[in-house]
Amino acid sequence: MANAPVQRMSQLMAKTLRDDPADAEVLSHKLLVRAGYVRRTAAGMWSWLPLGKKVLANVERIVREEMDAIGAQEVLLPALLPREPYDATGRWDEYGQELFRLKDRKGGDYLLGPTHEEIFTLLVKDQCTSYKDLPVILYQIQTKFRDEARPRAGILRGREFQMKDSYSFDLADEGLAHSYALHREAYQKIFTRLGLDYRICAATAGAMGGSESEEFLAPAAAGEDTFADCPNCDFAANTEAMTYALKPVDAEGVPAPEDIPTPDTPTIETLAASLGVPASATLKNLLVKVDGEIVAVGVPGDREVDLDKVEAHFAPAVVEMVTEADFAGRPDLVRGYVGPQGLPKVKYVADPRVAPGTAWITGANKADTHARNVVAGRDFEVDAYLDVVVVQDGDPCPKCGTGIELDRAIEIGHIFQLGRKYTDALKLDVLGQNGKPVRVTMGSYGVGVSRAVAALAEQTADDKGLCWPKEIAPADVHVVAAGKARQTELALDISDKLAAAGVRVLVDDRAGVSPGVKFTDSELIGVPTILVAGRRAAEGVVELKDRRTGEREELPVDEAIARLTA
């Protein structure tokens, strides 16, 4: 491979900024814009400038190498897709508002691909007809489109973004498990090579221990996911996937329910205080509307309801909060005093903590009145148990019972054993060994390629700026010419020698820019090694600086070159 030419900052389109962009909320957004890697084009849409494009390409290269290594074959499908396959799987509607839908000049419906399960399934249906054609793993690195509700996190959450998506097609469950395991290992290699700190977390709350779907989460303050980590065992899960075991208890001996007058207790706190009980002894009942129908959600009084979980459970139905108007004409619903006993016409879902046999203080369905000794399963029925409470620090680990710890993280990858959902909908069969058709089973796997760039920035940056791991950095060495003609001459000479030896060089040869600004920029840009042709250039002595540790050393030019090309 030809050596890369020296990148000269005098010619590079990479304007650094002193100040954070006004709309930036997260560190990676601020730094990637300030260091001249990306520019915002519109909400959730980003342009990659030369330095950014290099970093993105480095991530892509690593992803590509590790996918190729497991025998996956790279393809490229269109991003503009027809409606019909997405109708066949139901996703045209189910995907909701995140899907970009559009029409062509003839009025035909199209979409911009958010992921490509349908199209890959059809491609394999077209290409693979016999058991001999399987297994196969296909991947692409491509632009994806999702009309995200809150594209506020810069590159971390684009409405247009780069993803590596792959799909495995196998004849049997064991094959799928193998393809999944191959991906899991490839992802471990990818994220390790990228230099990301990450955890593999259960993403679905399966009885099998969640192995059918796992997420790769990179701990970072800017993360929008929360994961639970057990300090005692190897349990780690996205809190979205955590379930609390239903543990029925014996209600024998609990007296019959009785009303208690409770004026002036508008909140759980005031109620618990006036009765001298902990909030956890009370049952609060949140009313929501699911596709217009009122549903009550019961959780212990000390817990918060996670509306995302409620929505996820009822999706694609639309979940809304009840309003004043919804109480009109409903004498059975007494605002602030709702209890599940005596609500026969309202569907009741509850957290597993409201297990059969547990006794509660809850609303008596009368103004200013609560009821005590209200027992689940005896005094009211739970139509469905749902994990809907916000997981808290210290909740018991589902595996060993130790108090879990919560951390914020960025989802950088997701692997998923889909099974036959898509192959059933699109009727993907191949002829089996016995001549009979076999329904193919499928896995789908994603890496957030552009998101990984931002996640790396989040995890590696310091107060001076970006700080890339070597394999990802836009150059290996950032040569700074302090300013005088002789220094520039030396810097360019060193740069050429390094480049000739295969080192990727970025040289700051800008005229009329002060040395101070150049040093600050070199730290902001974050190339791992900085070489300064400065004060002692005339003697043939340069300074080498490690961007991460800040360690500096003065040494003769030849030695510096020898070190950097070793």
For ligand ATP, give the closer residue by CB, 301 or 446.
446
Distance of closest approach, residue 234 Cβ to ligand ATP, in angstroms: 21
For ligand ATP, give the closer residue by CB, 257 or 446.
446
Distance of closest approach, residue 312 Cβ to ligand ATP, in angstroms: 11
For ligand ATP, give the closer residue by CB, 216 or 348.
216
For ligand ATP, give the closer residue by CB, 43 or 367.
43
CA 228 to CA 235: how far, in whole Å?
A: 8
DSSP string covering 171-199, please? SSHHHHHHHHHHHHHHHHHHHHHHT---E
Distance of closest approach, residue 365 Cβ to ligand ATP, in angstroms: 39
Q: Would you tell me which residues interact with ligand ATP (CB under 6 A)?
A: 115, 146, 148, 157-158, 161, 163, 411-414, 446, 448, 450-451
The answer to whether the CB of 142 falls within 8 A of the CB of 79 is yes
For ligand ATP, give the closer residue by CB, 96 or 344.
96
Return all residues near 224 (Cβ < 8 A) that are at least 6 apart.
153, 156, 157, 408, 410, 411
Distance of CA 531 to the CA centre of its chain: 37
Distance of closest approach, residue 146 Cβ to ligand ATP, in angstroms: 5
**CB-closest chain residue to ligand ATP:** 448
The answer to whether the CB of 521 falls within 8 A of the CB of 509 is no
Could you count the other beta carbons within 10 Å of the beta carbon of residue 152? 16
The answer to whether the CB of 62 falls within 8 A of the CB of 192 is no
For ligand ATP, give the closer residue by CB, 161 or 519.
161
Distance of closest approach, residue 389 Cβ to ligand ATP, in angstroms: 20
Helix (H) or strand (E) holding 63: helix 50-69
CA 438 to CA 128: how far, in whole Å?
A: 12
Helix (H) or strand (E) holding 542: strand 541-546
For ligand ATP, give the closer residue by CB, 223 or 340.
223
C-alpha distances in Å from residue 421, one per residue of 91, 171, 245, 424, 439? 11, 14, 27, 6, 11
Distance of closest approach, residue 93 Cβ to ligand ATP, in angstroms: 17
Distance of closest approach, residue 239 Cβ to ligand ATP, in angstroms: 12
For ligand ATP, give the closer residue by CB, 414 or 545.
414
- Cα first-last separation, the chain: 18
Distance of closest approach, residue 161 Cβ to ligand ATP, in angstroms: 4
The answer to whether the CB of 508 falls within 8 A of the CB of 479 is yes
